[in-house]
Amino acid sequence: MLETRTENFVIPEARVARIRQCIDMLVSIKLLDEQSEMTNYRLEPEVTRQPGDLVVGDAGQRGRDKLLLGTLAEAGARRRLWLDITGEQVVGIFGKRGTGKSYSLGLLLEGLASGAGSTRLAELATPRGALVLDIMDIFWTSTIPLINDGSAEVRKQFAIMDKAGFQSRALSVDLWIPAGFQNPAIDPPGVRQLYIAAHELELDDWASLFEVDVFAEPRGMLIADMLNYVSRDGYTDVRNGNRIAPDQQFTFADLSAFLENCSEIQGVYQDTTVRSIRQRVGTYGAQALFSGTNTPLTDVIGSFRVSILMLARLPDPLKNVVVSTLLRRLMRERRDASFAQKRLDLAGDLTKEESTRLAEIISTSVPRTWVMMDEAHNLAGTGPNGMARDTFVKYAKEGRNYGLSLAVATQQPSALDPRLTSQIETLIVHQLTSPKDAAVARENIRSPLPSATNVDSQPVSVDDLLRRLDQGTTTFSCANAPALNRLCVVSMRPRTTAHGGYEA
């Protein structure tokens, strides 16, 4: 007789078969139950004519570098969706609170940090870095691979990843914080400190830092004068008549000396005005952030690595200043590197020495970079705090030419600077219920709309579809997607490192 033997007793084969049948039944009931909880999306026409995975985001469909976003969540084949990042991208992630925006930004981060070559998360050939401007301090958790151990939160996140058949491993992620804002009592080990030099700040940054209007207020005009005299014109020392030469690499000490000793501003500004600015210059100059040597961007951003800059502890004006100065420096350095690359690629008359020099400049420059920011309406919005918005708009408009990509997430697309929104080519939209925000999302969809959309067998509009997206399910649309016939619905993949965007 056929039988199954355990250590202590024997179960007849017929009984084993019956038990198996029961287990199968229970499993299928559970599966059906799970499926019945999931919303059913049916869109027409067919999403693509091409078989297999969808790889979209590059007009030339080069597919050299790509990030796995998830799988189609529509009726039909469950194809995987990859974002082709061979060319540069401006990605927008919209959605109301708690729908999965930070999680989706985390997926992009994980892909970019997964190293050169081919993994489950990405295929990367071109050296690129990424800088996460983390104004909520929730992305440092990307340094923690998910394991089936530890806290209930980690085990919960592991279970989601495991069920979808993903494994976790350590990624190339570095943590940075502006100097002076570290807190060794709570910070994870290995957080590096960022320093910014006074001469990196532009007039707008000073205005933001000192909370003054540089055009209308005497204090603002004094700041403008101060920067011009110190960095461009030089001035005369009132004590001895000596000429102080201009210095473009000026420090806070140089600014203090100017306010103390410049003869040209004597009698032009009231004493109280000068004193007020001198006091502010002294206060900021004493801050650790502005006291060290400017941290080179090549220290912060490395190829096939993601750097997370923790900004939550900074007051808003300082957040704006740090973000603006870094973005400007990144654009400046990448502009020069890409100029050098184009000369090397295109100029036919270079001497051997010139070619060597250009190649060296390129290899020691900051690599192509993705900048990522969550809750982008805060710094790049139209509200009073969005002081870095002009820099973001410039970055989004011009960055592509210099090998710079951008990914921004927001729960309030209608509050984002429209000049930035209009640059978005790849749009990932989680559930949106506010008509105002849904309208902004709809207006910025760059793929053709479906000819028919059904949710749970009911015909719906695009706005209704946005209202009916499950957590972690998004619409995906992309300007550079010749293979994509229309907007599609995607179930974003699970994260493989810890997601830090939960309430604790």
Ligand X SMILES: Nc1ncnc2c1ncn2[C@@H]1O[C@H](COP(=O)(O)OP(=O)(O)OP(=O)(O)O)[C@@H](O)[C@H]1O
Question: What's the CA gap between 494 and 497, in Å, rounded?
Answer: 9
Cα 231 to Cα 227, 237, 285, 455, distances in angstroms: 6, 15, 17, 62
- Counting Cα atoms < 13 Å in the Cβ hemisphere of 395 gives 30
Q: Is 282 in the site for Mg ion (CB under 5 A)?
A: no
Give the closest residue to 92 by CA, choosing from 410, 379, 359, 324: 410
The residue behind tokens 């024997």 is 10
Q: Which two tokens stand for residue 10?
A: 């024997």
- The region of 92-100, 108-116, 385-393, 417-425 touching ligand X under the rule CB under 6 A is 92-100
Whether 177 and 191 have beta carbons less than 8 Å apart is answered as yes
Q: Is 411 in the site for ligand X (CB under 6 A)?
A: yes
Q: Is 471 in the site for ligand X (CB under 6 A)?
A: yes
The residue behind tokens 């969706």 is 81
One residue of 57, 95, 111, 220 binding ligand X per CB under 6 A: 95
One residue of 102, 320, 414, 477 binding Mg ion per CB under 5 A: 102
One residue of 57, 100, 111, 386 binding ligand X per CB under 6 A: 100
One residue of 494, 496, 497, 498 binding ligand X per CB under 6 A: 494
Which residue, 138 or 314, is less far from ligand X as judged by CB?
A: 138
Residue 345, classed as helix, strand or coil, is helix
Which residue, 199 or 377, is less far from ligand X as judged by CB?
A: 377
- The region of 5-13, 253-261, 294-302, 491-499 touching ligand X under the rule CB under 6 A is 491-499
Number of residue whose CB is nearest Mg ion: 102
Residue 502 beta carbon to ligand X: minimum distance, rounded to whole angstroms: 5
Which residue, 66 or 101, is less far from ligand X as judged by CB?
A: 101
Question: What's the CA gap between 105 and 99, in Å, rounded?
Answer: 12
Q: Is 501 in the site for Mg ion (CB under 5 A)?
A: yes
Instruction: Sort 42 into a burial class: Cβ within 10 Å, 0-12 / 13-18 / 19+.
Output: middle
One residue of 5, 49, 78, 97 binding ligand X per CB under 6 A: 97
- The region of 101-109, 347-355, 432-440, 449-457 touching Mg ion under the rule CB under 5 A is 101-109
60 CB neighbour count, 10 Å cutoff: 11
Give the closest residue to 235 by CA, choosing from 201, 265, 214, 206: 265
Q: Is 386 in the site for ligand X (CB under 6 A)?
A: no
Please work out, in degrees rounded to the nearest 5, the angle formed at the alpha carbon of residue 369 by the alpha carbons of 339 and 124. 110
Q: Is 413 in the site for ligand X (CB under 6 A)?
A: no
One residue of 103, 140, 210, 252 binding ligand X per CB under 6 A: 103
Interface map 55-94 toward Mg ion (x if CB under 5 A): ----------------------------------------
Q: Is 492 in the site for ligand X (CB under 6 A)?
A: yes
Whether 231 and 282 have beta carbons less than 8 Å apart is answered as no
The residue behind tokens 């009916």 is 468
Residue 494 beta carbon to ligand X: minimum distance, rounded to whole angstroms: 5
Which region, left, alpha or beta, applies to residue 179 given φ > 0 means left and ψ of -120 to 50 means alpha?
Answer: beta
Which residue, 135 or 455, is less far from ligand X as judged by CB?
A: 135
Residue 374 beta carbon to Mg ion: minimum distance, rounded to whole angstroms: 6
Which residue, 325 or 414, is less far from Mg ion as judged by CB?
A: 414
Question: What's the CA gap between 431 and 100, in Å, rounded?
Answer: 9
Question: What number of chain residues touch Mg ion (CB under 5 A)?
Answer: 2
Q: Is 142 in the site for ligand X (CB under 6 A)?
A: no
Question: What's the CA gap between 140 and 176, in Å, rounded?
Answer: 9
Which residue, 106 or 450, is less far from Mg ion as judged by CB?
A: 106
- For 64-134, list the strands marked E by DSSP: 66-72, 80-84, 90-94, 117-118, 122-124, 128-134
Whether 392 and 57 have beta carbons less than 8 Å apart is answered as no
Q: Is 302 in the site for ligand X (CB under 6 A)?
A: no
Give the closest residue to 450 by CA, choosing from 94, 40, 39, 47: 47
Which residue, 234 or 501, is less far from ligand X as judged by CB?
A: 501
Q: Residue 305: beta bridge partners? A: 129
Give the closest residue to 295 by CA, choosing from 307, 313, 280: 307
One residue of 199, 280, 328, 499 binding ligand X per CB under 6 A: 499
Q: Is 160 in the site for ligand X (CB under 6 A)?
A: yes
Which residue, 358 or 406, is less far from Mg ion as judged by CB?
A: 406
Q: Is 102 in the site for ligand X (CB under 6 A)?
A: yes
Which partner in Mg ion, ligand X, none is near 98 (CB below 5 to 8 A by kind)?
ligand X
Q: Which residues bind Mg ion (CB under 5 A)?
A: 102, 501
Q: Which residues bind ligand X (CB under 6 A)?
A: 95, 97-103, 160, 411, 471-472, 492, 494, 499, 501-502
